[in-house]
Chain A
Amino acid sequence: MIRVRIPQKKKELEVPGPRRVGEILAAAGIRPTTVIVTQGKRLLTRDQRVEDGETIDVLSVVSGG
């Protein structure tokens, strides 16, 4: 399983791997233009493949006010 952390929402979910970042976001119902997806110090593009057992972070970029 791929571990998907969404720290600003204090949420974590698991999706079966391997999958592309774009597919993971779609499965989690997240619009790609509203987030950046990171893995350690790397920034991932939507077409990048995430393997089973890996962890990614989804960070919202939307600021209000």
Chain B
Amino acid sequence: MKCKRCRKAEAAVDLPSHNSAFCPDCFFLFFRRQVSEGIRKLSLLSPEDRILVCVSGGKDSLVLWDVLMELGYPTEGLYIDLGIEGYSDRSREKVLAYAGARGKEPIVVDLRAEGIPIPEAAKRARKEECSVCGTVKRYFFNRIAARRGFTVVATGHNLDDEAARLLGNLLHWDRDHLSRQHPLLPEVAEGLVRKVKPLWRVSEMETAAYGFLKGIDYVTEECPLSFDATSLIYKEALSMIEEKMPGTRRRFYQGFLDKNRGVLQNSDDKNRDVLENSVPGLCATCGAPTFAEVCGFCRLKEMVSQGRDRKRSAQ
């Protein structure tokens, strides 16, 4: 199969969802254009932004960092070592190697050093690992960005992630989550910085192909704690549909953003009104902005500490 753009070179990536196929050079152009169009369409970033890119060592976040640098944005990487034996060490290695080769030194937060490694924290607090991980990551994204003067936090969520999340939210008619699902979450208050997902137009397969062709050495193993994540079930369902009807996933998510997001918001949704009209206060423990008296991260740390006390007294 020949590249459908240059019509000369052999195609390396076929994209039935775009009714196209590209050679490596033309695919790089296509991919960068998809990302820059996604940024432009939703005004995710401006040239004045200082961008904190959250990198896990996986394909999506490293590709995001790579493409943002290629597009000329000023970026720094943030790596959060989750304290998962083996997996975290290998991921950290990939991030440091990628950054080092490009003259960058990522900011590293080590959750073991912070006393809150995810596997132990989840066990002690008696909570789901993915939920604990989300709370901890959000806290450090905001804290590091605010303390170091970043104007925006960028994460590597792609089209498949967002479409799967949309399907999950629709299946549960979760209006609250639906109203907040968007590649741009504006800054709510000082210390709760803007969050963006610049890869929202590109699929997981496209991201992986870009990473492979660019020679980005990413960690291919999955987080061992996410093997039963519900998002995988939604992704599987969407893949099955995508295979029979290429382009459906893109139309599903794009249609939500273009036309239907407003329709799904309930004008008398009390939770949303309360959130939109609220001004966060400061956490009584750590001083971070929060809508509660004590922020979610400090509440979690307290639960972990109580769990450790319980364990000690049982011994």
User: Which positions in A face B, CB cutoff 8 Å?
Assistant: 7-8, 31-36, 38, 42-48, 59-65
Contact = CB atoms under 8 A, between A and B. Distances in A.
A34 B209 CA distance: 11
B12 A45 contact: yes
B213 A8 contact: no
Given A36-B208, A36-B212, A43-B212, A65 B130 contact: yes
12 contacts: A8-B221, A33-B205, A33-B243, A36-B208, A42-B12, A43-B212, A45-B1, A45-B12, A63-B58, A64-B226, A64-B229, A65-B226
Contacts of A44: 12
Given A36-B212, A45-B12, A47-B1, A61 B243 contact: no
A33 B209 contact: no
Contacts of B221: 8
A65 B133 contact: yes
Residue among A33, A61, A63 having the largest count of chain B Cβ atoms under 10 Å: A63
Given A8-B221, A45-B1, A45-B12, A64 B232 contact: yes
B265 interface: no
Contacts, number: 76
B207 to A, nearest CB: 7
Contacts of B13: 43, 45
B81 interface: no
Given A45-B13, A45-B14, A38 B229 contact: no
A8 B239 contact: no
Nearest to B227: A64
A62 B159 CA distance: 12
Q: Which of A7, A34, A44, A59 has the most CB of B within 10 A?
A: A34
Contacts of B205: 33-36, 61
Contacts of A48: 1
A36 B59 CA distance: 12
Contact of B220 (A32, A33, A43, A59): A59
A32 B243 contact: yes
Q: Is the interface of A mostly helix, strand, loop or mixed?
A: mixed
Nearest to A38: B212
A31 B240 contact: yes
B207 A61 contact: yes
A33 B239 contact: yes
B244 to A, nearest CB: 10
B105 interface: no
A64 B226 CA distance: 6
Nearest to A21: B14
A52 B80 CA distance: 45
Contact of B223 (A31, A36, A38, A64): A64
B222 interface: yes
A35 B212 CA distance: 12
Given A63-B59, A63-B226, A64-B227, 8 more contacts: A7-B220, A33-B205, A43-B212, A45-B12, A61-B205, A62-B232, A63-B204, A64-B232
Nearest to B133: A65
Contacts of A61: 59, 204-205, 207-208
B160 interface: yes
Given A61-B204, A62-B160, A34 B239 contact: yes
B222 A64 contact: yes
B157 to A, nearest CB: 10
